[in-house]
A and B are shown apart, each in its own frame.
Chain A
């Protein structure tokens, strides 16, 4: 390699490393803002801001879903296995919404620790398998986690 090319290559390497370092610093500083949702544990530790719009993510606790027969109101508990947050929502839920499913609720937390959501999104996991395989796994007593987080 000629000296000119070596110099150019060094400049190229410098650009890539420089931009990489700058980005690393920037995203470290912005880390909390990059989170799309917080867990019930974060809410309990009060690291999540109160009376401010937040997204709460976790699993719908088994047996917690109560639907109002006269309206679209639904109440359920979001859990991450360590802490629970009761959630109320009025509206149409995504098709994937069910007990044990990962969900993200967008809304605010009142003083009583109750979460009022105006939007509920379903979160699915990265596992794909045919229904029969799932059934046989369940029969064998090894169902995969319904959804992580």
Chain B
């Protein structure tokens, strides 16, 4: 019964007007959630948590850098799941969502690389090193940009999305590479602090802002993805009746 309802909901998401409405309703809530989490997280990260015994206050960059890195990778996994659904079921709204994930993921990857650089200079003594962790993260940025470029290169949006979805799956191999790079090879970058299995190497008094920021950027990723997907849908369906009706009703204006 529940499975049946899920299935019906899933199919209704394939309907452009329903999907558009979902984006419109969900996005402000996700943005609001992000703002609340980020406000708490940033305040704690800058003013509440103690400095680190070794790195002093510069380790506070971690509360931006690590959530950005996790989101860059988690975003890619989400995009890959969407790509599989898009390729197998050929649902247009899912194709659009997959493609909308790439620019947001690219933004988080760029943020991770830039803050890593700003952290590396004072601590390691260099802005950049070609070690396995940093290089694989740079490759992730290029994969994201490649997906965006490939999608944009096709006149036929649906064909472009399908070809780009294949590139999404090809690039998926880089995600475990990023994760395990610090274990498989010697790197300038240190090993994982927060571990799914086993004890974390961060003192509990420093954990709270990391959790707030991580949850916050997850909500933001969803919000930005839906915003972009909605634009793509309106753009693709500009000649369709349901869009004309929306505009006629004035339901699209600034709050559209």
Q: Give chain A's interface residues, CB within 8 Å of chain B.
A: 5, 8-9, 11-12, 15-16, 19-20, 23, 27, 31, 34-39, 57, 93-97, 104, 119-134, 148-149
Contact = CB atoms under 8 A, between A and B. Distances in A.
10 contacts: A11-B87, A19-B172, A27-B177, A121-B126, A126-B191, A127-B201, A130-B50, A131-B52, A132-B50, A134-B53
Q: Is the interface of A mostly helix, strand, loop or mixed?
A: mixed
Contacts of A12: 84, 87-88, 169
B169 A16 contact: yes
Given A95-B122, A96-B123, A9 B190 contact: no
A94 B169 contact: no
B123 A122 contact: yes
Given A36-B186, A93-B125, A128-B193, A8 B88 contact: yes
Interface stretch (B54-62, B223-231, B233-241): B54-62
A34 B139 CA distance: 14
A43 to B, nearest CB: 13
Interface residues of B, number: 41
Contact of A121 (B53, B88, B124, B172): B124
A132 B205 CA distance: 12
A39 B186 CA distance: 9
Interface in B173-226: 173, 177, 184-188, 190-193, 201-203, 205-206
B129 interface: yes
